[in-house]
Amino acid sequence: EAKRGGRRRHAFYTAAMGERIRERNEIEAELREAMRTGDGLDIVYQPCFEARSGALIGAEALIRWQNARRGAMLPNQFIPIAEECGLIETLNEWVLEQACLAAARWPAGTISVNLSAVQLRNATLAERVFSILKRTRLAPSRLELEITETSFLDSSEKCRRNLGWLRDVGVRIALDDFGTGYSSFKHLAGFEVDRVKIDQSFVSTIEPGRPGSPVIQAIVDLARVSGLETTAEGVESEQQRLYLTSIGCDVLQGFLLAEPVSAAQVEARFIEAQAGA
């Protein structure tokens, strides 16, 4: 009896797994096709603001994919697949080049681009970034690369060297989703990054009845004594904005301030801000 149940369960899991694998392979094929034709792939830009003054200081490039069969797909639904099947470097370099081109048209501001761990392990990363900066004529100091803590975990020599070369020419490095990984504080103490982005999961704990967060306070304090800037991600309420500003968080990003928009819209906001100043 147990044996028969076990076999049936086994058959069930196999079918479900088979279905998942098939869908994953389909998405992979569709992504290859989208990358070949450029159809459906797009980049949006979420503005970032200085907390104290409210001034626009830059934007983060976020990839979007309008899949012909599945509709709008979010990065979390296809970036992991691109990483698994070796498409991520080409995809991310496309994002990087488009983002740098866009930012080069803005009168000011930093462009932030997300990197994958795979890219950090590639010994040619820094060189490729330099050539994109040259082609797009963007000053290195206007580029910030975001890496997650997990990419640091296997901090190979290659990864370290890449980051060193990039920082030497003025490209800035931000630690994304800070606090969600395992070895966060070690990296802050090592001064290998310029900015810490406090993950939205901490920011969202600030709510009516819980107006402060000792964790965020600790991250901001530690960043300050380490000479790093802080950005809070996912700021959705006025209460969060006020609290984060009051404890000295430098930069705010979130739907309260601005949703992701087109490159031209960011440009228009910069021009507007300059005219108003």
Binding to Mg ion in span 110-129, by CB under 5 A = 114
**Partners of 231 in the beta sheet?**
197, 251
Is 116 a binder of ligand C2E (CB under 6 A)?
yes
Binding to Mg ion in span 122-161, by CB under 5 A = 146
Binding to ligand C2E in span 36-75, by CB under 6 A = 46, 62-63, 74-75
Binding marks (x or -) toward ligand C2E, 211..230, rule CB under 6 A? Answer: --------------------
Is 177 a binder of Mg ion (CB under 5 A)?
yes
CB of 116 or CB of 136, closer to ligand C2E: 116
Binding partner of residue 72 among ligand C2E, Mg ion, none, CB cut-off 5 to 8 Å per kind: none
First-to-final CA distance of the chain: 78
Binding partner of residue 260 among Mg ion, ligand C2E, none, CB cut-off 5 to 8 Å per kind: ligand C2E
Write out the residues near ligand C2E by the rule CB under 6 A. 46, 62-63, 74-76, 79, 92, 95, 114, 116, 146, 176-177, 200, 233-236, 254-255, 260
Write out the residues near Mg ion by the rule CB under 5 A. 114, 146, 176-177, 233
